[in-house]
Amino acid sequence: MSIRRKLTILMLFLSLVPTLIVGVLAYISINSELTSKTVDQLNSTASKQEQKINALIQNKREEVSKLTNRFDLQTALSNYINTNGQWGGDDIYSILFNRKVANSDLQSITLVNLEGKVVATTTSGNSVTHLDPKEYSIADNKEGSLTVEKGQQDGIAKIRVVSRVSVNKKPAGYLSVMFRADDIIAAVQDYTGLGSTGETIVAAQDSNGAVALFPLRFDTDAALSRNLNSLSLFDKTNGVYKDAIDYRDKQVMISTKTLASTDWKLATKIDMDEALASIVQLRNTIALVVIASSVVIAGIILYVTRLFTRPILQIAQASQKIGYGNFSTRVSVKNHDEIGELAGSINAMGANLSVLVSNIESQRHRLEAILNSTTDSILAIDKNGLIVLANNAGTKLTGYSEETLAGRHIDEVFKFTRDLQPYSINYDVTGVNTYPGLQYQNADGTTHYVKVIVAKITEVSEQSAAQVIVTIHDETKSRELENMKLDFVSMAAHELRTPLAAIRGYLELMTYKNGSAVSDGAADYLQQALRSASELGGLISNLLSVSRIERGALTFNPQKLDLGQEIKQAIEDVSVDESGKSNNVSVKFEGLDQGCFVQADQLALHEVLNNLINNAIKYNKKDGQVIITLSQNGDNYRVSIKDSGIGIPRQALGNLFTKFYRVRGGLNSGSTGTGLGLFIAKSIIERHKGSIYASSQEGVGSEFTFELPMFDKCLAEDSNQQARRERGWTTQNIAR
Smallest distance from ligand ADP to CB 589, Å: 17
Q: Which of 225, 232, 230 is nearest to 211 (CA)?
A: 225
Going by C-beta distance under 8 Å and a sequence separation of 6 or more, which residues neighbour residue 185? 157, 214, 215
End-to-end CA distance of the chain: 80
Nearer to ligand ADP, 333 or 678 (CB): 678
Among 70, 158, 164, 662, binds ligand ADP (CB under 6 A): 662
Nearer to ligand ADP, 179 or 704 (CB): 704
Going by C-beta distance under 8 Å and a sequence separation of 6 or more, which residues neighbour residue 174? 111, 112, 114, 136, 138, 162, 163, 164, 165
Nearer to ligand ADP, 78 or 583 (CB): 583
Cα-based angle 386, 390, 393 (whole degrees, multiple of 5):
140
Nearer to ligand ADP, 34 or 667 (CB): 667
Q: How far apart are CA 213 and CA 201, in angstroms?
A: 8
Smallest distance from ligand ADP to CB 619, Å: 3
Smallest distance from ligand ADP to CB 650, Å: 13
Smallest distance from ligand ADP to CB 658, Å: 9
Q: How far apart are CA 559 and CA 605, in angstroms?
A: 11
| 663 counts as binding ligand ADP under rule CB under 6 A | yes
CA distances for 88 relative to 78, 85, 119, 130, angstroms: 8, 7, 9, 19
Nearer to ligand ADP, 661 or 729 (CB): 661
Smallest distance from ligand ADP to CB 674, Å: 5
CA distances for 304 relative to 7, 9, 17, 307, angstroms: 10, 13, 18, 5
Q: Which of 171, 52, 182 is nearest to 107 (CA)?
A: 182
Rg (CA), the chain: 71
Smallest distance from ligand ADP to CB 681, Å: 8
Smallest distance from ligand ADP to CB 502, Å: 25
Q: How far apart are CA 429 and CA 381, in angstroms?
A: 12
Nearer to ligand ADP, 350 or 645 (CB): 645
Nearer to ligand ADP, 166 or 658 (CB): 658
Going by C-beta distance under 8 Å and a sequence separation of 6 or more, which residues neighbour residue 709? 598, 599, 635, 636, 688, 689, 690
Q: How far apart are CA 292 and CA 294, in angstroms?
A: 5
Q: Which of residues 629-648 bind ligand ADP (CB under 6 A)?
A: 643, 645-646, 648
Using the contact rule CB under 6 A, the part of the chain among 251-259, 269-277, 456-464, 610-618 near ligand ADP is: 610-618
Q: How far apart are CA 483 and CA 222, in angstroms?
A: 133
380 neighbors 397 (Cβ within 8 angstroms): no
| 625 counts as binding ligand ADP under rule CB under 6 A | no
Using the contact rule CB under 6 A, the part of the chain among 202-210, 443-451, 661-669, 684-692 near ligand ADP is: 661-669
Smallest distance from ligand ADP to CB 533, Å: 17
| 120 counts as binding ligand ADP under rule CB under 6 A | no
316 neighbors 2 (Cβ within 8 angstroms): no
Nearer to ligand ADP, 611 or 625 (CB): 611
Q: How far apart are CA 169 and CA 164, in angstroms?
A: 11
CA atoms within 13 A on the CB side of 392: 9
Nearer to ligand ADP, 172 or 652 (CB): 652
Q: How far apart are CA 469 and CA 474, in angstroms?
A: 16
Smallest distance from ligand ADP to CB 713, Å: 31
Nearer to ligand ADP, 41 or 620 (CB): 620
Using the contact rule CB under 6 A, the part of the chain among 104-112, 328-336, 405-413, 654-662 near ligand ADP is: 654-662
Using the contact rule CB under 6 A, the part of the chain among 371-379, 568-576, 586-594, 662-670 near ligand ADP is: 662-670
Smallest distance from ligand ADP to CB 671, Å: 7
Q: How many amino acids of this chain bind ligand ADP (CB under 6 A)?
A: 21
Going by C-beta distance under 8 Å and a sequence separation of 6 or more, which residues neighbour residue 5? none
Nearer to ligand ADP, 486 or 652 (CB): 652
Q: Which of residues 475-504 bind ligand ADP (CB under 6 A)?
A: none
Smallest distance from ligand ADP to CB 544, Å: 15
Q: Which residues pair with 701 in a beta bridge?
A: 697
Nearer to ligand ADP, 389 or 543 (CB): 543
| 619 counts as binding ligand ADP under rule CB under 6 A | yes
Question: What is the β-pairing status of strands 585-591 and 625-633?
Answer: parallel
| 610 counts as binding ligand ADP under rule CB under 6 A | no
Q: How far apart are CA 360 and CA 328, in angstroms?
A: 17
Write the interaction track for ligand ADP spanning residues 673-702; mark x where CB under 6 A is met and - where it is not: xxxxxxx----------------------x
Name the closest residue to ligand ADP (Cβ): 673
Q: How far apart are CA 285 and CA 279, in angstroms?
A: 9
SS3 label, residue 131 = coil
| 656 counts as binding ligand ADP under rule CB under 6 A | yes
Smallest distance from ligand ADP to CB 733, Å: 16
CB-based burial, 593-610: b 16+ in 10 Å, e otherwise: bebbbbbbbeebbbbbbb
Nearer to ligand ADP, 31 or 674 (CB): 674
Judged by the rule CB under 6 A, the positions of this chain that interact with ligand ADP are 611, 615-616, 619, 643, 645-646, 648, 656, 661-663, 668, 673-679, 702
